[in-house]
Amino acid sequence: MEENSKFDFDTIMDELSTRLEEIIECTLVDQLDSAVTCAVQNAFPEALSENFSDSEFVLADGTIVRPRQRMKLLSPDKSKLVICYGGLRVDDSALMVQTRISCWENIACYQSREEAIEALIKVKNAMEANLSIFEL
């Protein structure tokens, strides 16, 4: 019985160790991605604005991304302030904001998908008006 318990313990420890390594790797990749994105945006804001203002990228999931210089979005409950890279999408009733090239963050949840789409349209209009900050 002791061997069986030891085997289970070792298996659990191996699984925990593997999962911890994955979490650390993902965290480091996200932090590096964020640091590089911020460094480029801070170093070359005029170049980004001029060169990407009319560009758009289509992601694998079909989302169209139009990079912007960096518009800040404040969530309705004022608990989140994020920098929007340019992409917006609605997942069910959540408004998702692209905070980096490879990262999406939920900025607000609404009662319905229609309300989330209305919020997306408001944010899109604010981006097109070149606002530097927009409160949902």
pTM of the entire predicted model? 0.51
Burial class (CB in 10 A: 0-12, 13-18, 19+), 13: exposed
Higher pLDDT: 35 or 78? It is 78
Query: Virtual CA dihedral for 98, 54, 124, 94, nearest 10 degrees?
Result: -30
Residue-range domain boundaries for the chain: 1-43, 53-135
What mean pLDDT comes out for the span 105-124?
90
What's CA 16's distance to the chain center, in Å? 27
pLDDT one-digit tens code per residue, 87-108: 788 888 999 988 876 678 899 9
